[in-house]
Chain A
Amino acid sequence: GAGVSQSPSNKVTEKGKDVELRCDPISGHTALYWYRQSLGQGLEFLIYFQGNSAPDKSGLPSDRFSAERTGGSVSTLTIQRTQQEDSAVYLCASSKVVSRNTGELFFGEGSRLTVL
């Protein structure tokens, strides 16, 4: 597709359930980012994948959060045993990386997660 695609666009779940959020980056983009956007909290970095390198997981808020990127393309963010404070918009972005210089990030529409 032309842009970064995220699904689902909206997810309502009960506290304690697991959720999976999917990101399909722009073809050819080697870098993929996940961010969380909460009201009044700005954009919180979660995790960064770049090519075949080990991902930078330094932003994941707890061990309930994990992400993987299969085949250097699609990524899945998994939240286990969801809590109400996990409610937020989860944004995915991708970019080209040339000689360690990251180009413009292109963002998806986001997945809005509501934990009841």
Chain B
Amino acid sequence: AQSVSQHNHHVILSEAASLELGCNYSYGGTVNLFWYVQYPGQHLQLLLKYFSGDPLVKGIKGFEAEFIKSKFSFNLRKPSVQWSDTAEYFCAGISSNTGKLIFGQGTTLQVKP
């Protein structure tokens, strides 16, 4: 069965620290992967996505993620976080076999000023 799992449920960082949030997937077929962010009181919005091609994808606000097929991973990174990055982050994936987008459990990021 397809699944997406996020390793970190709650991360606390100081401003300027580097960020890496783990995401692993289990899928059959071609997989499309996404990271979504939900800022406090706002709706979900797309950070970045991987469909094919260069496995290192860059998104908005300085975020990037690397698709490593051999590890079934799609970790989210940012070299230097800001207080405004405080939010909940969701990894998600779609298998071309089903077309169904499945989300991970989410990671709450708290950045201390």
Contact = CB atoms under 8 A, between A and B. Distances in A.
Interface of A: 31, 33, 35, 41-43, 45, 48, 50, 56, 58, 91, 93, 97, 100-102, 104-105, 107-110
Nearest to A43: B103
Nearest to A99: B96
Given A42-B105, A42-B106, A43-B106, A104 B46 contact: yes
Interface of B: 32, 34, 43-46, 49, 51, 90, 92, 94, 96, 98-106
A81 to B, nearest CB: 27
25 contacts: A31-B99, A42-B104, A42-B105, A42-B106, A43-B92, A43-B103, A45-B100, A48-B99, A48-B100, A56-B99, A93-B44, A93-B101, A100-B96, A101-B32, A101-B51, A101-B96, A102-B32, A102-B101, A104-B34, A104-B49, A105-B46, A105-B101, A107-B43, A108-B43, A109-B43
A38 B111 CA distance: 23
Given A42-B90, A104-B49, A33 B98 contact: no
Contacts of A109: 43
A33 B100 CA distance: 8
B10 to A, nearest CB: 11
A105 B94 CA distance: 11
A33 B96 contact: no
Contact of B44 (A45, A97, A100, A107): A107
Which A-B residue pairs are the 3 nearest by beta carbons? Answer: A43-B103, A42-B105, A107-B44
A6 to B, nearest CB: 10
B96 A91 contact: no
Contact of B101 (A41, A45, A110): A45
Contacts of A35: 103
A105 B44 CA distance: 9
Contacts of B101: 33, 45, 48, 93, 102, 105
Contact of B99 (A43, A100, A104): A100
